[in-house]
Amino acid sequence: MTAVYNQELGNMRFDLQVIASWIEPGSRVLDLGCGNGDLLYYLKHHKQVIGTGIEFSEEKAARCIERGLTVLQGDFRHEVKDYPKGRFDVVVLSQTLQQIQDPKELLIDLLWIGRRVIVSFPNFGHWSARLQLLFTGMAPVNDQLPYEWYNTPNIRVITIKDFKRFLHLFGLRIVREVAINTHHHEFKGNIIRTLKNLRATYGIMMLERVT
Amino acid sequence: MSPSADNEHAPLLVERRYFTFAEPPKQMQLDCGAHLGPITLAYETLGELNADRSNAILILHAFSGDSHVAGRLSIDDERPGWWDNMVGPGKPVDTSRYFVICSNILGGCSGSTGPSSIDLATGKPYGLHFPMVTIKDMVRAQKHLIDHLGISTLMALIGGSVGGMQVLRWCADFPEMVGSAIPMATTTRHSAQAIAFNEVARQAIMADPAWNNGDYYGGGGPAHGLAVARMIGHVTYLSDEAMREKFGRRLHRNALSFDFTGDFQVESYLHHQGKKFVNRFDANSLLYITKAADYFDLERGGNQLINEALANVPFLIISFTSDWLYPTYQSRDIVSALKKNGSDVSFCEIEAQGGHDAFLLPNRRLDGLVSGFLDRVYHDRCL
């Protein structure tokens, strides 16, 4: 287990720090559900990235535009449709995959408009979730999954192992991957190297099509 | 009472200027095939053009606007320009940094050549002899002005409603001159509903006997028809929500009158707006400009916003939730076309009650979007 803390990236969520470190300078990036634009802002000013964000909330989208970022307000499942093939080098989907109705179709769309896709998602295979289900017989509620079954936005239960199986089935390849152990909004975190599906709270992967 | 900002500082004074071109025989050819000239455009500028002429912003006014976008025309001028909350020193369109140009459109009646201008061939006002002009013709005339000012690229074009149509027309026709664009509360083509309202407004004017086939410049003109046309316009600029908020069913007198003089506040508001408009606008100009807006169609023969030349132009598209004249889906269509170019396009739908008129009303969200976007363009292009 390695503790990672980058001073320069210190004001960003830890999974975004990992994602930012994977992006090549000068690349064209699309960030889905970009929130207040922290990742895009960092990439623009430190890596000369040409970025676009899509954000559902008017307030957050407006905040991004005020910061000088290129952002579309809207539902990214619709907004990804019009871009030409290969418009982006990297499409970022952080902590959203588990909230998508049709993740397979979405990933196919994203790998059409982008050469590579980076996804991060909470790992439902984490030991605490397993133990909660085993011992209490109730759906897991913890820091990464702080919701009750009736109000959770997370409609897909994904584990790192499940996700890899899915990639294999649909002809997608992992270019890079990291499993981390961190709380949801933490700026620091640990990278997990063994027993990932049991010990990691989040999985982060860079994907591309198998051509 | 605290002194207003205007009392603390000298008011921002602007001067209306005139540019005349297309003198015969070099008349400008119009879309309808006619030739027109000489053409005069009334325009105003604010701020200073920088050394490399890269900080110019062209503001395009909506259908009943004029060149007087901001500031005051004299020390004792009571009314500032129509977008004074948006344009000025330290405001979102910051005239201490940008050089702002606004001209009255071709076909208008505030100093530019239009149906109320004198036709040199007859010595009388054109009236209905004025040729039909299109949004494209208006933009063509503006380009003559921008060339005359020695500006090869505009840092930004900004406009709402019919002004937004002109922004889009500029992008389609002169993409190489567009540094960035902010079309707001606008559309690439009028819906049947928008055409319908315009037609009712035109008919209100033409049904007034005083209209006299457009030949009324010696007399009072179709004041009643023009007032009704404006009332129809105002209904489309507001929204159900805005009207409920503003007037509800409140009366503007103590009891029902049981006659037709108007009991409700909403009626007296519309009467007032109609009367006010008659004093400042020419009925024939309304006919011509609404027709130009109805004819405007950027999607005829393929979407003219889908153009590789626009791939590197930053766009900011803005719509308003309560605008039912040009609803948000029409702005999303603009976004969708621009995305196909791979353009740098931002979009925001602002939650606002004001209806279509919202873009003209003070709005902190709108201010933040415009100033943030322009700031980025300025840093990328001018520094």
Between β-strands B344-350 and B314-320, what pairing exists: parallel, antiparallel or unpaired? Answer: parallel
Going by the DSSP 8-state scheme, the letter that residue B176 receives in this structure is G
Domains along chain B with CATH numbers = 17-191+297-381 (3.40.50.1820), 194-292 (1.10.1740.110)
Chain center to CA of A205? 8
Question: Which residue, chain included where needed, has tokens 């890899």?
Answer: A164
Q: Is B379 helix (H, G, I), strand (E, B) or coil?
A: helix
pLDDT at B6: 45
* Residue B381: partners with Cβ closer than 8 Å, 6 or more residues away: B54, B155, B179, B180
- CA dist B175 and A166 (Å) reads 45
Helices (H) and strands (E) in chain B, counts: 10, 14
Give residue B177's identity as a one-letter amino acid code. Answer: M
Six-digit token string for B120: 């040199």
- CB < 8 Å to B365, chain A: 58, 62
pLDDT at B237: 95
Six-digit token string for A150: 């009736």
Residue of B346, B370, B376 best to disrupt the A interface, most CBs of A under 10 A: B346
Q: How confident is the model at residue A7 (pLDDT cuts 50, 70, 90)?
A: low
Q: Is A65's CB within 8 Å of B332's CB?
A: no
pTM (2 d.p.) = 0.94
pLDDT at A186: 66
B202 a known binding residue? no
Q: Is A82's CB within 8 Å of B340's CB?
A: yes
Q: Which of B67, B323, B331, B333 is catalytic?
A: B323
Q: Annotated catalytic, B356?
A: yes
Q: How confident is the model at residue A189 (pLDDT cuts 50, 70, 90)?
A: confident
* Residue B201: partners with Cβ closer than 8 Å, 6 or more residues away: B228, B229, B230, B232, B233, B286, B290
Q: Is A71's CB within 8 Å of B346's CB?
A: yes
Judged by a CB distance cut-off of 8 A, whether residue A86 touches chain B is no
Closest chain A CA to residue B321: A58
- CA dist A53 and A80 (Å) reads 10
B380 a known binding residue? no
- CA dist B95 and B374 (Å) reads 12
- CA dist B341 and B305 (Å) reads 8
Q: Annotated catalytic, B161?
A: yes
Q: What are phi and psi of A204, to 5 degrees?
A: -130, 125
Number of Cβ atoms within 10 Å of the Cβ of A194 = 8
* CA-closest candidate to residue A69, choices A26, A95, A96, A34: A34
- CA dist B87 and B362 (Å) reads 11
Instruction: For residue B119, give the H/E element and its range.
Output: strand B118-119
- Of the partner residues B339, B344, B348, the one whose CB lies closest to the CB of residue A61: B348
Reduce the secondary structure of chain A to three states and give it as a string. CEEECCCCCCCCCHHHHHHHHHCCCCCEEEEECCCCCHHHHHHHHHHCCEEEEEECCHHHHHHHHHCCCCEEECCHHHHHHHCCCCCEEEEEEECCHHHCCCHHHHHHHHHHHEEEEEEEEECCCCHHHHHHHHHHCCCCCCCCCCCCCCCCCCCCCCCHHHHHHHHHHCCEEEEEEEEEECCCCCCCEEEECCCHHHHCCEEEEEEEECC
Q: Is B347's CB within 8 Å of A73's CB?
A: yes
Reduce the secondary structure of A91-105 to three states and give it as a string. EEEECCHHHCCCHHH
What is the number of alpha carbons within 13 Å of residue A121 lying toward its C-beta? 28
Q: What are phi and psi of B228, to 5 degrees?
A: -65, -40
A1-5: long-range contacts at Cβ-Cβ below 8 A with a sequence spacing of 24 or more? A1/A181, A1/A190, A1/A191, A1/A192, A1/A193, A2/A190, A2/A191, A2/A193, A3/A188, A3/A189, A3/A190, A4/A188, A4/A189, A4/A190, A4/A191, A5/A187, A5/A188
Q: How confident is the model at residue A4 (pLDDT cuts 50, 70, 90)?
A: low
What is the mean pLDDT for each group of 10 consecutive residues in chain B (383 residues)? 48 95 97 98 98 97 97 94 97 98 98 98 97 98 98 98 98 98 98 98 98 96 98 95 94 93 95 97 98 97 96 97 97 97 95 94 97 97 84
Number of Cβ atoms within 10 Å of the Cβ of B196 = 13
Give residue B87's identity as a one-letter amino acid code. Answer: V
- CB < 8 Å to B345, chain A: 70, 72
- Of the partner residues B336, B344, B348, the one whose CB lies closest to the CB of residue A58: B348
Judged by a CB distance cut-off of 8 A, whether residue A24 touches chain B is no
- CA dist B147 and B127 (Å) reads 29
Locate all alpha helices (DSSP H) within chain B, ordered by sequence: 5-8, 135-148, 162-173, 192-206, 223-237, 240-246, 265-278, 283-295, 328-340, 364-382
Going by the DSSP 8-state scheme, the letter that residue B280 receives in this structure is T
Q: Is B318 helix (H, G, I), strand (E, B) or coil?
A: strand
A89-130 pLDDT per residue, tens: 999 999 889 889 999 999 999 999 999 999 999 999 999 999
A192-206 pLDDT per residue, tens: 888 989 999 999 999
pLDDT at B171: 98
pLDDT at B376: 97
pLDDT at A6: 58
pLDDT at A185: 58
Number of Cβ atoms within 10 Å of the Cβ of A16 = 23
pLDDT at A9: 64
